[in-house]
Amino acid sequence: MQPTATTDLAAQAPLPASTEHGSQTGFWALTLGSVGVVYGDIGTSPLYALKESLHAASGGHALTREMVFGVVSLILWALILIVTLKYVLIVMRADNNGEGGTPSLVALAQRSLGHQGGFVIVLGMGGVALFYGDAIITPAISVLSAVEGLKLVTPAFEAYVLPISLAILLGLFAVQSHGTARVATFFGPITALWFLVMAVGGLSHLADEPGIVAAFNPVYGIGFLLGHGTAGLLALGAVFLAVTGAEALYADMGHFGRAPIRTAWFGLVLPALALNYLGQGAMLLAHPERIENPFFLLYPSWALLPMVLLATVATIIASQAVITGTFSITQQAMQLGLLPRLRVQRTSETEKGQIYIPRVNWWLLVAVIFLVVMFKSSSALAAAYGIAVTGDMVITACLIFIVAWKVWRWSPALAMLVIAPFLLIELVFLSANALKLLHGGWVPLTIGACLVTAMWTWRRGSGHITEEIHRRRRPLSEFTRMAETGSIQRVQGTAVFLTGTPGDTPGSLMHNVKHNHVLHAQNLILNVVTEDLPRVPDAERVSIRKLTDAFWCVSVRFGFMELPDLPRALEAAGLDAGSLSYFLTRRVLVASPETGMPVWQDRLYIAMARSATDASRHFRIPVDRAVEIGAQMKI
């Protein structure tokens, strides 16, 4: 079918979150699902947060009443200020058409700042890199902390903690290809049970020292910090373990929607966490000798083994939350040009956002296993955890300030008044965690530095290639005039030539004419545009503009959360997708000291480019309809 100059139709896109989810599962089913996937991470923090905080506060000495009240107060207020006020009530307002996560914030901020928003990309790189650090540490520390409970059942299990943890992690990453929808359906009720059991465990010990409820008074936390110097700061760094998972909460927002996530937090998650921490504190005031594992010792001896098993399942769910978030963040980063194209699989025909990225999954597994084998215990890993999370939260605070000012139209003074207290608190937490730099804190920083270097190299190298392509090629208008007036032989059919610079003649078109000496009857110069929106509306997907009788400019727009499908988009625009031939350029890159990047960076870019999924697979182009033409380019 011949295109018309006014064609402006769209390929079918997933329904908006409210319509799609609402018609299939209902609000309460989504709320229950969010308990499993979104809150799995923060729900396992009671396993180790209070224990590690009090260990840091006491420095191996006997617990005091002041320590217990101070640390419990700090944990409660961290949950109130960081998770409730900042993330649940403020940050989750910054949804980019329903999607959350650092790339969504970057897209919102950069769109509002225009050409002045270059530094926003740098912040985004740091946020994505630190989120990866969080995603690597969370499965390791969560699973280890649960399995370590077996030592309370009988010391004979101590030798099996590491092998059992590794086996669980291997199984967890092996099932990721089945998708989040099934995981949420299965894990939601179990996690809800976990929160209820935590609440019951805490309630059962409040009678040990009812006065512990006074820990809601922030004076106890502030007084503890002011009176304990370095020990107070070390404890503060461990206190932050109680709010790990807030970034995953925001990254997974597109899977469930804002309202179900908020309902789950206020209706179940926050009350259960508060009761459990209060119960642990009350028990330790009455029985300070239980400091070695206060969470499991909340329960009677006959319940220890069932609790260890339930905790193990809960930590698997906690790991799932960050793994799911990592897939979403990676896809967004690829679409925003921060990472090379990787193969993305849809794991649901009906649910939007249900994706699986095999290479990311296995990279994460290798990194997680490395950490488990290197650190061997949850206490050792705790030191490495805080820096990744606090650093990511500081970046989020900076980005949300820009969004509040430029997108929500708050005055700079109001935006500063609201956001600055959170930023100040998180900078204090970051300083406290920096004290652990030599005791494991270097791990997420090293991971982050490597990822930022890779993203910066990819963005810089891609920019150079775009400039080089533009320099080499002749303007498209000049080529079309030559083709219309020349004597080039024509053949039947429609050819599609992909290009990243729509004003220039595609290299595949020039080489086709140069070597084959033919032109198709119809030629589509196609440019794929990734928008700052998560999803592009149907009516705005494809636009076609006539240049001459034989040449047409086609623009196909995708959102950064969408999986590009060119044949489907063109078919929806009225073209016969089965009759199209796609011509693409496959570039052979050669490192050269003549370019703007150092040679080591050239080689890194080349290695990343070789690992990227080829364009035909990325855009879902049928193999039997794709023609690739090689071209060498120095970088």
Q: For the domain that residue 509 is a member of, what is the CATH number? A: 3.40.50
Domain co-membership, 224 together with 308: yes
Judge if 404 and 530 occupy the same domain: no
Examine the domain organization and report whether 420 and 327 are in the same domain. yes
Identify whether residues 598 and 478 lie together within a single domain. Answer: yes
Burial of 506 (0-12, 13-18, 19+ CB in 10 A): buried
Q: Which residues contact 305 (CB under 8 A, 6 or more apart)?
A: 153
Residues 467/408, Cβ–Cβ less than 8 Å = no
Band (pLDDT 50/70/90 cuts) for residue 15 is very low
> Beta-carbon neighbour count of residue 521 at 10 Å?
13
Last residue of a domain, one of 424, 459, 494: 459
d(CA 505, CA 480): 9
Q: List the structure tokens of 323.
A: 């793994």
Q: Which of 459, 487, 510 is the last residue of a domain?
A: 459
Structural contact between residues 402 and 112, judged by C-beta atoms closer than 8 angstroms: yes
| Segments forming the whole domain that contains residue 520 | 473-634
Grade residue 24 by pLDDT with cuts at 50, 70 and 90: very low
9 within some domain: no
pLDDT at 180: 57
533 and 602 together in one domain: yes
Residues 178 and 310 reside in one and the same domain: yes
In terms of domains, do 275 and 406 share one?
yes
Please tell me the distance from the alpha carbon of residue 86 to that of residue 400, in angstroms, as a whole number.
10
Average pLDDT over residues 50-79: 91
Q: What is the CA 625 to chain-centroid distance, rounded?
A: 34
How many CA atoms are closer than 13 Å to the CA of 449, on its beta-carbon side?
A: 7
User: End of a domain among 459, 494, 526?
Assistant: 459
- How many CB atoms within 10 Å of residue 288? 17
Residues 411 and 505 both lie in one domain: no
In three-state secondary structure terms, 524 is strand
- Whether residue 468 lies inside any domain: the answer is no
Phi, psi (deg, nearest 5) at residue 14: -60, 150
Quickly tell me which residue has 């900076």 as its tokens.
Answer: 398
The CA distance from 220 to 393, in Å, is 25
Q: Is residue 2 part of a domain?
A: no
User: Is 8 a member of any domain?
Assistant: no
Per the structure, how many domains does the chain have?
Answer: 2
Rounded to 5 degrees, φ, ψ at 356 are: -145, 130
* Confidence (pLDDT) at 14: 33
Q: Do 225 and 92 sit in the same domain of this protein?
A: yes
Rounded average pLDDT over 265-287: 96
Q: What is the 3 state secondary structure string of 208-258? A: CCHHHHHHHCHHHHHHHHHHHHHHHHHHHHHHHHHHCCHHHHHHCHHHHCH
5 in a domain, yes or no? no
Q: Are residues 454 and 549 in the same domain?
A: no
- Residue pointed to by tokens 């597109």: 254
The one-letter amino acid at 462: S
Percent of the chain with pLDDT over 70: 92
Strands 551-558 and 626-634, sheet pairing: unpaired
Q: Is position 519 within any domain?
A: yes
The string of pLDDT tens digits covering residues 211-250 is 999 999 999 999 998 888 888 888 888 898 899 878 777 8
pLDDT tens digits, one per residue of 99-132: 777 878 888 888 888 756 678 888 888 888 888 8
Residue 83: inside a domain: yes
pLDDT at 167: 93
Higher-pLDDT residue of 136, 21: 136
Gap between the terminal Cα atoms of the chain = 40
- Which residue has 């969010």 as its token pair? 34
Predicted confidence (pLDDT) per residue in 429-440, tens digit: 888 888 878 777
| Side-chain half-sphere exposure of 233, counting CA atoms within 13 A | 11
124 contacts 107 by C-beta, under 8 angstroms:
no
In tens, the pLDDT along 258-274 reads 889 999 999 999 999 99
Burial class (CB within 10 angstroms; exposed 0-12, middle 13-18, buried 19+) of 460: middle
Mean pLDDT across 318-330: 80
Mean pLDDT for 318-341 is 82
Distances (CA, A) of 452 to 122, 341, 360, 443, 600: 8, 17, 16, 14, 15
Q: Could you tell me if 423 and 556 lie in one domain? A: no
- Please tell me the distance from the alpha carbon of residue 137 to that of residue 169, in angstroms, as a whole number: 12
Same domain, 624 and 518: yes
Using CA atoms, how far apart are residues 289 and 299, in angstroms rounded to an integer?
15
Here the CATH number for the domain that contains residue 85 is 1.20.1740.10
Residues 307 and 302: their CA atoms lie apart, in Å, by 10
Q: Which two tokens stand for residue 448?
A: 């982050």
Q: Is residue 591 within 8 Å of 506, Cβ to Cβ?
A: no
Average pLDDT over residues 444-461: 89
- Residues facing residue 552 across a β-bridge: 524, 546
